[in-house]
């Protein structure tokens, strides 16, 4: 295990105390959209959506490893709540990695300083794992562009101020035809779908977004024309170990719940923890959890050190997500009927785990990336 620096220890203490103050709001009244907006604002006020944005732009300017350690801690303390802010991190990374004009700088600084909320609009009915099948069309329109198409599922769709939208100018060109744009969510022709009725990923709101003859200025283009696919891949590669850190946080929370339960619940005159059939399973799960933590930390350290990280990032996401699914599944089994009759935290983590499988690429997509690097 890595030794934390004094600064990292302080950062994690602050994250825990932030979570203690914020958790009660999560249970509060209000519809899904209001709750997501409040939660995002709370995270943004504390700067957790802008940890990686450089200080000159108003962010915290942290390294990747410290960011991952914080996201693990926040996900342990408030499972499932991080994915709105994590989307903002992905968007900020995408803007930060592109060659920037003054609009890009302004949006990056609004994200960092004013808590501007963003959404990432990529997935479509025909384009899931296969991004090159994007059908949202973009046409040049004088000095600007016009967008038409529908994105199936976008985290923050109902609360975002700005979207990053992927569209193609020439579907026959595949990846080379894909561009990404910063789109003001209040522009005429931007229609947000009804929030999907998922109580999983607590505090996140998601749904479809349709762009109908949306006219945007030329400076909204991110990066050079035709560069969006590579820009997106770089963003994903850097984002995957952060999603993995969040999986590790949720998995460690689930493991805590399980350990507490098996130590207090007795059957056949003994605590569940005294049965080797249970304790050996827990030993294996704790080992997997420790390995998941090392994998995500290794990938993030490699990013910080300028070493190749594509394969390590996918390994981290693949293994952390599988570990989370396994631990949460075991939690449902070992809590027995209590997983639904008592506060349903383990059930929520179980649902989160199933959904996290698709975020930033499915398990098979991670395997495709890993295999391509062998």
Ligand X SMILES: Cc1cc2nc3c(=O)[nH]c(=O)nc-3n(C[C@H](O)[C@H](O)[C@H](O)COP(=O)(O)OP(=O)(O)OC[C@H]3O[C@@H](n4cnc5c(N)ncnc54)[C@H](O)[C@@H]3O)c2cc1C
Binder to ligand X among 50, 122, 178, 247 (CB under 6 A)?
122
**Smallest gap from residue 73 Cβ to ligand X (A):** 22
Q: Is the sign of the CA dihedral 180, 181, 186, 189 positive or negative? A: negative
Per rule CB under 6 A, count of chain residues that contact ligand X: 20
Q: Which is nearer to ligand X, 34 or 153 (CB)?
A: 153
Q: Which is nearer to ligand X, 17 or 129 (CB)?
A: 129
Provide the b/e sequence for 220-240 (b: ≥16 CB within 10 Å).
bbbbeeebbbebbeebbbbbb
Q: Which is nearer to ligand X, 281 or 352 (CB)?
A: 352
Contact, 333 vs 261, CB < 8 A?
no
Does position 138 interact with ligand X (CB under 6 A)? The reply is: no
Which own/partner contact pairs does 7-13 have at CB distance under 8 Å and 24+ positions apart? 7/66, 8/66, 8/69, 11/62, 11/66, 11/69, 11/70, 12/69, 12/70, 12/73
Binder to ligand X among 178, 231, 365, 369 (CB under 6 A)?
365
Q: Which DSSP helix (H) or strand (E) runs through 148?
A: strand 144-155
3-state SS string for 188-199: CCEEECCCCCCC
* CA–CA separation, 241 and 301 (whole Å): 10
**Smallest gap from residue 364 Cβ to ligand X (A):** 3
* CA–CA separation, 327 and 250 (whole Å): 10
**Smallest gap from residue 28 Cβ to ligand X (A):** 23
Structure tokens at 369: 């990336």
Does position 362 interact with ligand X (CB under 6 A)? The reply is: yes
The residue nearest ligand X at its CB is 128
Binding part of the chain for ligand X, among 49-57, 98-106, 120-128, 266-274 by CB under 6 A, reads 120-128
Distances (CA, A) of 96 to 90, 146, 218, 223, 309: 10, 24, 18, 10, 18
Does position 81 interact with ligand X (CB under 6 A)? The reply is: no
Does position 206 interact with ligand X (CB under 6 A)? The reply is: yes
Does position 359 interact with ligand X (CB under 6 A)? The reply is: yes
Does position 251 interact with ligand X (CB under 6 A)? The reply is: no
Q: Which is nearer to ligand X, 73 or 156 (CB)?
A: 156
Binding part of the chain for ligand X, among 25-33, 73-81, 115-123, 185-193 by CB under 6 A, reads 115-123
Binder to ligand X among 41, 135, 355, 370 (CB under 6 A)?
355
Distances (CA, A) of 254 to 172, 204, 359: 46, 20, 20
Q: Which is nearer to ligand X, 113 or 367 (CB)?
A: 367
Which residue matches tokens 């022709």? 189
Binder to ligand X among 18, 64, 120, 309 (CB under 6 A)?
120
Does position 154 interact with ligand X (CB under 6 A)? The reply is: yes
Does position 153 interact with ligand X (CB under 6 A)? The reply is: yes
**Binding residues for ligand X, per CB under 6 A?**
87, 120-123, 128-129, 151, 153-155, 201, 206, 355, 358-359, 361-362, 364-365
């Amino acid at each position: 295990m890595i030794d934390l620096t004094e600064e990292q220890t302080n950062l994690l203490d602050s994250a825990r105390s932030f979570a203690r103050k914020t958790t009660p709001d999560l249970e509060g009244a209000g519809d899904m959209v209001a709750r997501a907006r409040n939660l995002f604002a709370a995270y943004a006020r504390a700067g957790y959506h802008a940890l990686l944005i450089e200080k000159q732009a108003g962010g915290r300017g942290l390294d990747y490893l410290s960011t991952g350690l914080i996201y693990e801690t926040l996900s342990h303390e408030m499972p499932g709540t991080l994915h709105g802010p994590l989307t903002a991190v992905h968007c900020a990374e995408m803007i930060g990695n592109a060659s920037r004009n003054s609009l890009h700088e302004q949006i990056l600084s609004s994200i960092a300083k004013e808590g501007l909320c963003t959404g990432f609009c990529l997935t479509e009915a025909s384009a899931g794992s296969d991004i090159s099948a994007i059908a949202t069309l973009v046409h040049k329109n004088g000095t600007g562009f016009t967008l038409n198409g529908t994105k199936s599922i976008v985290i923050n769709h109902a609360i975002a101020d700005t979207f990053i939208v992927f569209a193609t100018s020439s579907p026959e060109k595949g990846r080379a035809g894909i561009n990404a744009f910063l789109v003001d969510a209040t522009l005429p022709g931007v229609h947000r779908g009804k929030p999907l009725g998922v109580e999983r990923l607590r505090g996140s709101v998601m749904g479809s977004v349709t762009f109908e003859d949306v006219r945007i200025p030329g400076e909204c283009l991110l990066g050079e024309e035709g560069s969006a696919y590579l820009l997106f891949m770089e963003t994903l590669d850097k984002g995957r170990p952060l999603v993995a850190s969040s999986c590790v946080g949720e998995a460690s929370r689930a493991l805590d719940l399980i350990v507490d339960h098996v130590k207090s619940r007795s059957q056949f005159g003994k605590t569940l923890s005294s049965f080797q059939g249970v304790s050996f399973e827990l030993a294996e799960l704790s080992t997997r959890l420790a390995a998941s933590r090392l994998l995500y930390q290794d990938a993030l350290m490699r990013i910080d050190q300028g070493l190749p990280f594509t394969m390590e990032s996918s390994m981290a996401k693949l293994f952390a997500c599988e570990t989370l699914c396994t631990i949460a599944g075991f939690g449902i089994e070992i809590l027995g009927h209590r997983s639904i009759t008592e506060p349903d935290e383990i059930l929520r983590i179980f649902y989160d785990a199933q959904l996290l499988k698709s975020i930033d690429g499915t398990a098979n997509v991670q395997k495709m990336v890993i295999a391509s690097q062998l």
